[in-house]
């Protein structure tokens, strides 16, 4: 009986040691998973960019229901929720409005800036390079084309 009791204790001790070693071995082999950065909302940037909505609002009415700005890592993201009047504006004008907001946010934020609106349209530096509007921003205070050359139709409206 004593021999059986000693053998049982030895088997249990070996099982515990094997379990400890397996646990330690798993911890050593587990790949390091990078921590995901939690997006954080930036109300101070939302306040600073509020004036960028004035020009489009004067021309087209309240075209955005709401907007929010989020930061994740090196990317600043503006999410726009559009109202019905925005869907009635032609696609080129929608691009101009979103590009105008993107430029304003880019001047305020550091790192990559992305603007996403609903209905879906996404604006980033890569898209901006391919957009051929000759750098015109119809809501800036600068005169278009110096007045000598006729402004495009969308700027005259």
Q: Does the global pTM surpass 0.75?
A: no
Residue 151 forms part of a structural domain: no
Instruction: Tell me whether residue 152 is in a domain.
Output: no
Place of tokens 């869907």: 87
CA 103 to chain centre: 14
Q: Kindly state the DSSP code that residue 42 receives in the 8-state scheme.
A: -
86 and 125 in a common domain: yes
pLDDT digits (tens, 9 = 90+) for 30-47: 566 666 667 788 888 889
Q: How many domains does the chain have?
A: 2
- My answer on whether 23 and 48 are in the same domain is no
Which residue segment(s) compose the domain that 18 sits in? 1-33
Are 62 and 126 within one domain? yes
For 101-116, the pLDDT digits (tens) are 888 888 888 788 888 8
Residue 153 within any structural domain of the chain? no
- Alpha carbon 66 to its chain centroid, in Å, reads 15
- Taken in order 11, 15, 18, 24, the sign of the CA dihedral is negative
Whether 95 and 49 map to the same domain: the answer is yes
- One domain, residues 112 and 49: yes
Q: Which residues of the chain have pLDDT under 70?
A: 27-37, 118-123, 128, 132-157
Q: Coil, strand, or helix at residue 132?
A: coil
Report CA torsion sign: 122, 70, 136, 85. Answer: positive
115 shares a domain with 54:
yes
Q: Are residues 59 and 133 in the same domain?
A: yes
Identify the burial level of 46 via C-beta atoms within 10 angstroms of its C-beta, where 0-12 means exposed, 13-18 middle and 19 or more buried: middle
Does residue 60 sit in the same domain as residue 21? no
Residues 9 and 61 in one domain: no
């Amino acid at each position: 009986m004593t021999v059986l009791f000693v053998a049982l204790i030895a088997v249990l001790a070996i099982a515990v040691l094997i379990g400890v070693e397996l646990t330690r071995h798993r911890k050593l082999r587990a790949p390091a998973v990078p921590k995901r950065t939690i997006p954080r909302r930036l109300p101070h940037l939302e306040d600073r960019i509020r004036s960028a909505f004035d020009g489009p609002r004067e021309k087209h009415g309240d075209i955005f229901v709401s907007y929010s700005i989020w930061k994740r890592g090196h990317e600043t993201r503006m999410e726009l929720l559009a109202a019905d009047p925005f869907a009635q504006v032609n696609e080129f004008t929608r691009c101009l409005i979103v590009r105008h907001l993107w430029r304003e946010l880019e001047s305020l934020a550091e790192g990559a800036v992305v603007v996403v609106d609903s209905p879906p349209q996404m604006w980033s530096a890569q898209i901006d390079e391919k957009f051929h509007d000759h750098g015109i921003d119809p809501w800036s205070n600068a005169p278009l084309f110096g007045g000598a050359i006729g402004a495009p139709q969308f700027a005259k409206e």
